[in-house]
Amino acid sequence: MSRKLIVATAQLGPIGRDEPRASAVARMISLMEQAYERGVKLIVFPELALTTFFPRWMIENPNELATFFETEMPSSETQPLFDAGKRLGMGFYLGYAEEVVENGTRHRYNCSIIVDEKGEIVGKYRKIHLPGHFQPEDWRPFQHLEKRYFEHGNLGFQVHDAMGGKLGMCLCNDRRWPETFRVLGLRGAELVMLGYNTPMHYPQAPEHDHLQDFHNHLSMQAGAYANGCWVIGTAKAGCEEGCDLIGGSCIIAPTGEIIAMTQGLGDEIATAEIDFDRCKELRENVFNFALHREPGDYGPICEGAETRDRMRADITENSVFRAH
Ligand code: CDV
């Protein structure tokens, strides 16, 4: 049986701070309709696709901060996306800010879901590698307060059987960590989907600004190749509230080659046919994990949690991080 699927990366241009969800949702449905004309069955939207990238601001007013989070999925505002997916027979990946109450405690995560072609949520991921800082830092031209606003994702890197393949997810900064792709690869992922919001300016090392597109593709192509899986990476791009974000949304083959890519920095799709069976070209040869890996020599990969916890405790001392 053929395991081929036409897929799309669905890049979004900037979303304004005051732009209502209905507008972002309408823009995404328009991309789904374009994709449908090209036979697409699975479409990948960006990280935090329903709102502007709000961690770039220190938002002191808790009521305002709360407006950027989804307390239910789907909600009346996001239901049209699910309806469109069902109508068009198209699954989708969607990134958003999630607020949940578990055992009486509120938690907030940078989250993504897979919705299948029947409109069912079949997988959820909560971002593990949260970049940025806890406290506002005046020297920066814009903030990156993901560590303040979100908790470390507690669902791990799971692989979901859906859309005829084994699907994994991650979000933005996760793609820079080979461990993300390797854990998904070890669990059999044939396709890894991810959304990103990546500024062109890297305040800590501005001499790397001209390398942002290169590092984006380098990480995703290496992740695809070394794990013999397909990768779809989707940007929120363009000048969002004065902050320039890279584009370069793409579909990458298990060989590491980019086979489709967006051209601009606005709302745009790029599409390709993928064949899940092509993962075997790598996974049964150079990256036959069972045969060639040497896990006995990889010990340090899983060490360091105590040092990390100590460093974070120092950084967050006197921080309101724990209070929100
Ligand atoms: N949203 C992100 O995770 N952005 C980071 C930036 C801050 C470096 C990224 O890895 O692209």
Residue-wise pLDDT tens digits, 245-288? 999 999 999 999 999 999 999 999 999 999 999 999 999 999 99
pLDDT at position 160 over 80: yes
Residue 312: its pLDDT value, please?
A: 84
Check residue 314 and give its pLDDT.
Answer: 79
Q: DSSP secondary-structure letter at 151?
A: P
Ligand 1 atom with the shortest distance to the CA of 127: 3
**pLDDT of 193 over the 50 cut:** yes
Interaxial angle between packed helices 79-88 and 21-37, expressed in degrees from 0 to 180 and rounded to the nearest 10: 10
- CA angle, 294 as apex, 303 and 290 as ends, to 5°? 120
What does the alpha-carbon distance between residue 125 and residue 178 come to, in Å, rounded to a whole number?
Answer: 17
Which pLDDT value is given to residue 317?
60
CB of 216 closer than 6 angstroms to any ligand 1 atom: no
306 has catalytic annotation:
no
- The yes-or-no answer on residue 257 being catalytic is no
Mean pLDDT of 179-192: 98
Ligand 1 atom having least distance to the Cα of 196:
1
Element (H, E) at 182: helix 178-186
What would you report as the CA-atom Rg of the chain, rounded to the nearest whole angstrom? 19
Query: Can you say how many angstroms the Cα of residue 98 is from the centroid of all Cα atoms in its chain?
Result: 14
pLDDT band per the 50, 70, 90 thresholds, residue 190: very high
Q: Which of 111, 129, 143, 172 to mutate to test the pocket of ligand 1 (most atoms within 8 A of CB)?
A: 172
For the chain, the average pLDDT equals 96
In the predicted structure, residue 96 carries a pLDDT above the cut 50: yes
Evaluate if residue 323 carries a pLDDT over 50. Answer: no
Residue with the two structure tokens 């500024």: 199
Ligand 1 midpoint to CA 269 (Å) = 22
More confident residue, 67 or 323: 67
pLDDT per position as a tens digit, 129-150: 999 999 999 999 999 999 999 9
Find out whether the beta carbon of 144 lies less than 6 Å from any atom of ligand 1.
yes
Question: What's 162-174 look like in SS3?
Answer: ECCEEEEEEEHHH
Give residue 308's pLDDT: 87
97-115: pLDDT as tens digits = 999 999 999 999 999 999 9
Residue of 70, 98, 111, 127 with catalytic role: 127
- In ligand 1, which atom is closest to the CA atom of 129? 3
Q: What domains are there in the chain, each with its CATH number? A: 4-323 (3.60.110.10)
- Percent residues over pLDDT 90 in the chain: 93
User: Which of 71-80, 169-178, 312-321 has the weakest average pLDDT?
Assistant: 312-321
Task: Determine the pLDDT at residue 322.
Answer: 42
Confidence class of residue 301 from pLDDT cuts 50, 70 and 90?
very high
pLDDT score of 324 more than 70: no
Q: Is the pTM of this model over 0.95?
A: yes
Report yes or no: 178 and 223 within 8 Å, Cβ to Cβ. yes
Largest CA distance in the chain: 59
State the distance from the centre of ligand 1 to the C-alpha of 7, rounded, in angstroms: 24
Whether 47 sits among the annotated catalytic residues: the reply is yes
Residue 238, sorted as left (phi over 0), alpha (psi -120 to 50) or beta, turns out to be left
CA of 112: how far to CAs of 120, 285, 296, in Å?
14, 32, 33
Among the residue ranges 73-82, 228-237, 258-267, 301-310, the one predicted with the least confidence is 301-310
Number of Cβ within 10 Å of residue 303's Cβ equals 8
Of 48, 144, 147, best ligand 1 pocket probe by most atoms within 8 Å of the beta carbon: 144
